[in-house]
Amino acid sequence: MLHTERRDTIIEILKTKDTASIHELVELTGASEATVRRDLSKLESDEQIKRIHGGASLSRRRRNEPTIAEKSSVNQWEKKKIAEAAASLLEPGECLFLDAGTTTLEMIPYLADRNLVVVTNGIPHVPLLLEKGIETYVIGGKGKQGTGALVGIKAIEALKEFCFDACFLGINGVHPVHGYTTPDPDEAVVKRTALDLAERSYVLADHSKINSITFANIGELALAEIITSDRLRDDERTNLKKYTDVKVVST
Amino acid sequence: MLHTERRDTIIEILKTKDTASIHELVELTGASEATVRRDLSKLESDEQIKRIHGGASLSRRRRNEPTIAEKSSVNQWEKKKIAEAAASLLEPGECLFLDAGTTTLEMIPYLADRNLVVVTNGIPHVPLLLEKGIETYVIGGKGKQGTGALVGIKAIEALKEFCFDACFLGINGVHPVHGYTTPDPDEAVVKRTALDLAERSYVLADHSKINSITFANIGELALAEIITSDRLRDDERTNLKKYTDVKVVST
DNA sequence: AAGTAAATGATTGTTTTTGAGTAAAATTGA
DNA sequence: TCAATTTTACTCAAAAACAATCATTTACTT
């Protein structure tokens, strides 16, 4: 047995049992005690497992990973509900702008078979849109590492050649005084341009974005309707409604 | 057994098993241990697999993207060599157009850290380019299902705002009389436009494309230099050379 | 057809991995 | 606390795997 295979086996065993004794691992891998020990040392220094006297267990980091995944899937759930609500605001045959970002990505499943035309600046969005059979246009521009968004002067120019019935933006900061903000100035300009080109504008923001401020300003709250969830505190909700329309989605 | 065949076989084996020992590979390929070792070294330096003591496993990158790996598995080795040769034709700091398609996709690893500027109409290319830290521009246009290429009048217009030192096209048909052809008329126009905008133009075509004809015409052979492999028969090679420059890559 | 280049398989010495043995350290139970 | 037991870390020799070299075969060129 290859040593990598053996180490994978050990990880698999630990995944099912959480802990295992040296003796068990010797039996299950068919290797000698010394070899298993060496493997455990290696795996521990790689932070894959934690050695304990007489055996090994999954490392805290590794064991916490599913917990983190669950936690983000809670956030994911909120985003999904917001995305679903946003998509429901569209009439058949409309033309919309879909901003780059993970929240707008979640809208895609709800856009299929509705005769919509989608324009986007998010590279990761395109394969999903095409897969769903949605008519998709991509604005041009410079690709930005990390988010895969298209930005820059070319993007702005290309964007200006469209008109939209609706525009859906992902936003990092929503604040009564500082308005909508996002960390990247290049992306901010694109978002603002899209806002101006659309008949109706919507900002998708889970509760963690409300009342936070990031670097680059896009514009005041009144420019768009905010779609958020009922995980937002009541007083914050009431406060926001002084400035613009707010749609609250129940999770 | 041809050595390229044998290497493809090794890849296939690893695709099903994920890891394999030297002895297994010796049995399954019928080659000697020394030869298998040499193959593994080669495949590792090409970043196709990862060698481990006693055998080999699929490289991490490849395991994460099975769809692309499978898609490009037809004549994959040949395409890779053609792509490598194509990339070697670039000087530092040049600006190039990278056409959509699987062959041009293979060029990306060879473009990193060379201060190049890449303009592309291939959506699948963008994440890879950004990942390698390459300055990347995307032309706009309508997304096409299947290939993920950007086409249409918007694409043409956006394209015309650039000038290229070099342009690399994937092509489906290369024929002395009918010239370069591709199945989709929309893509054909984009390719032709790119050809006209570039100082130097290259067509990447594995041997299966030579002397075949598909639906939409792009232009005559003289418009670009052809990069193909030594799997092309000698007489076909000689014939092609009557019409344009041909670079033959050894596999 | 002769010569050249490439690929292969066998052989060599070197490195890595492994398993066993042993002394030190940790754990357990009285 | 102390002794008995278990677990661990370390060393060493054997085995497996490796890289490098060389002779042979195969394929290509002129």
* B118-171 pLDDT, tens digit each: 999 999 999 999 999 999 999 999 999 888 999 999 999 999 999 999 999 999
Model confidence pLDDT, tens digit, residues A185-206: 999 999 999 999 999 999 999 9
How many C-beta atoms lie closer than 10 Å to residue A231's C-beta?
17
pLDDT at A49 over 90: no
Mean pLDDT lowest among A44-53, A173-182, B175-184: A44-53
Q: Is the CB of B237 within 7 Å of strand D?
A: no
B-chain CB neighbours of A130 within 8 Å are 143-146, 148
Cβ pair B97, B199 in contact under 8 A: no
Task: Give me the CA B248–C1' D30 separation in Å, rounded.
Answer: 20
pLDDT for res A63 = 53
Band of the pLDDT at B66, cuts 50, 70, 90? very low
pLDDT at B239 over 90: no
Q: Bridge partners of A58?
A: A49
Provide residues 28-87 of A with CB closer than 7 Å to any strand C atom: 31-35, 38-39, 53
Band of the pLDDT at A62, cuts 50, 70, 90? low
Q: Which nucleotide is nearest to B35 (CA to C1')?
A: C8
Q: Is the CB of B53 within 7 Å of strand D?
A: yes
pLDDT at B107 over 70: yes
**Angle subtended by helix axes B76-87 and B3-17, to nearest 10:** 110
pLDDT at A218 over 90: yes
Band of the pLDDT at A122, cuts 50, 70, 90? very high
pLDDT for res B214 = 86
Model confidence pLDDT, tens digit, residues B67-100: 333 444 556 778 888 998 999 999 999 999 999 9
Q: Bridge partners of B227?
A: B204, B247
| Gap from B108 CA to chain A (nearest CA, Å) | 15
Band of the pLDDT at B3, cuts 50, 70, 90? confident
pLDDT for res A154 = 95
pLDDT for res B68 = 36
Looking at residues A12-27, what average pLDDT do you find? Answer: 87
How many C-beta atoms lie closer than 10 Å to residue A115's C-beta?
10
> In percent, how much of chain B has pLDDT > 70?
92
Band of the pLDDT at A74, cuts 50, 70, 90? low
Structure tokens at B187: 């893509």
How many C-beta atoms lie closer than 10 Å to residue A21's C-beta?
13
pLDDT for res A89 = 97
pLDDT for res B63 = 39
Model confidence pLDDT, tens digit, residues B24-43: 899 888 889 999 999 999 88
Amino acid code (one letter) for A162: F
Looking at residues A123-147, what average pLDDT do you find? Answer: 94
Taking CB atoms and an 8 Å limit, are A143 and B137 in contact across chains? Answer: yes
Q: Is the CB of B23 within 7 Å of strand D?
A: yes
Q: Is the CB of B3 within 7 Å of strand C?
A: yes
Q: Is the CB of B41 within 7 Å of strand D?
A: yes
Backbone angles phi, psi at B5, to 5 degrees: -60, -45
Q: What is the residue whose two structure tokens read 């990069």?
A: B227
pLDDT at A161 over 50: yes
Taking CB atoms and an 8 Å limit, are B52 and A144 in contact across chains? Answer: no
Task: Give me the CA B45–C1' D20 separation in Å, rounded.
Answer: 18
Note the strand C nucleotides within 7 A of protein beta carbons. 7-11, 16-21, 26-27
Mean pLDDT lowest among A71-75, B90-94, B115-119, B176-180: A71-75
Closest CA in chain A for residue B17: A5
Taking CB atoms and an 8 Å limit, are A158 and B145 in contact across chains? Answer: no
The full set of domains in chain B, from first to last, is 3-64 (1.10.10.10), 70-249 (3.40.50.1360)
- Residues contacting residue A102 through CB under 8 Å, at least 6 positions apart: A79, A170
Q: Say how far apart CA A184 and CA A170 lie, in whole Å.
A: 12
pLDDT at A77 over 90: no
pLDDT at A67 over 70: no
Mean pLDDT lowest among A93-97, A172-176, A235-239, B5-9: B5-9
Band of the pLDDT at A123, cuts 50, 70, 90? very high
- Smallest Cα–C1' distance to nucleotide C21: which residue has it? A34
Quote the DSSP letter at residue A91. P
Mean pLDDT lowest among A40-44, A60-64, A159-163, B14-18: A60-64
pLDDT for res A73 = 60
